[in-house]
Structure 1
């Protein structure tokens, strides 16, 4: 397979991770009233909870944030070299993430599991055209869009692809949230979440073996 085609399949997977994180975050908001894909809003809510003396809220917010950090810590243990290598087994993270979400779908601990999953996903060392990708929060992407637009206006247009990539990532995050709300109304929200992440895991596993290790795949 041509390099361009492989890059296209890989970039599609990375964009679908943004869709998945949007779905997960909306699921957590609808089920628990709590976002899990980013920390800034939670830190602000924590400050308000401390000021208002809401011990339960403070405890839950701290647990959500610690779960996110633990997920990122686990990613650091798995990918400690901090270098992108397509041969790394990234696919097993969403695969087992989806299985775990299905098994915990009826438990209150699901909130902390989803936060752990988002921390783990966001800390995967993913690279797209030489740039580190974060797939669960988009404040940085909005900043990058503005910066790249400014560069484009000033005539530096050789990296205008970034604008498209960041925009698509944000758009897919939004669509993921909308789809979560739709399936919540149908009573299938967590089942679809589990299937989505299992699909994302299988997608990368198949991509890895078929396109990164064609010789090994042929031998098998």
Structure 2
């Protein structure tokens, strides 16, 4: 009962979400929130920049296409997006491991808080005009996406990724195929994992809802719609940061 009461306290809830001791429930809630933010930021990237930034397959495909066509600047922009995404993922991994070694607990609060700060930087991207502002905003958002994907991958032990939906939709198809197999061949022993299917559908729904909210928000106010997304990430992570203490040497 005491733990239940803590869950309904906002600060305690945030500490549970980003804590070192994970549970399927906290992973589920955190992944849903991050999928919502990813969907909103991805849709916002399209409205603000004219490009989706949540996964790198499209950018990777652009490089050979534009190289062959002789469009080197476009290929260079795609390479910049990939480099920013990889740098964000690498920075998140470095930060989590550093915090685990030096601080010992709540290491996931740091990368999520920094993602919120970078979303604030992305909100400032509208101030910069021309090519420089476009490149800054693109690199900033790809960096955030890389950080978020790496963070939730580390938290969930590679069970979930929130910035792209291809893998989740594939898994949904697999579970639906298992359900059809059970229906058509009941003696086969094949059964769908209904719990996994529920989680996947929830994450896809959160990504879609975030996309709708992001598309509406960014189309209405532009880059400034990054502010509520940044505040959401900061609200998740900041309550845990005061608890960070250096580990005493053995």
Calculate the TM-score normalised by the size of structure 2. Answer: 0.70
Once superposed, which parts of structure 1, at least 4 consecutive aligned residues long, lie more than 6 Å away? none
Q: Determine the structure 1 residue equivalent to 2:233.
A: 200
Q: In 2, distance between residues paired with 1:162 and 1:197?
A: 29
2:109 aligns to what?
91
1:19 equivalent in alignment to 2:36: yes
Give the equivalent residue in structure 1 for 2:196. Answer: 162
Q: Using a 3 Å threshold, how does the CA distance of structure 1 residues 150 and 46 change in structure 2: closer, same or farther?
A: same
- Does residue 180 in structure 1 map to residue 214 in structure 2? yes
Is it true that 1:143 corresponds to 2:153 in the alignment? no
Considering only aligned residues, what root-mean-square deviation do their CA atoms show, in Å?
A: 2.9
The answer to whether the aligner puts 1:126 opposite 2:155 as a matched pair is yes
Given the alignment of the two structures, is residue 105 of structure 1 paired with residue 96 of structure 2, yes or no?
A: no
For structure 2, the 5+ residue unaligned runs are 8-15, 17-22, 183-188, 244-250
For the pair shown, the structure with the greater C-alpha radius of gyration is 2
Alpha carbons 1:94, 1:198 under 8 Å: kept: no
Give the distance between the partners of 1:195 and 1:162, measured in 2 at CA: 30
Compute the TM-score of the two structures, normalised by the length of structure 1.
Answer: 0.79
**Cα distance, 1:10 vs. partner?**
4.6
The structure whose residues are more often helix, as a share, is 2
Aligned partner of 1:62 in structure 2 is 79
C-alpha distance in structure 2 between counterparts of 1:156 and 1:143, whole Å? 18
| 1:38 match: secondary structure | coil
Q: Aligned partners of 1:73 and 1:58: how far apart in 2? A: 22
Extract unaligned runs of 5+ from structure 1: 214-220
**Partner Cα separation in structure 2 for residue 18 and residue 66 of structure 1:** 22
Deviation at 1:126, TM superposition (A): 2.1
SS of residue paired to 1:53? coil
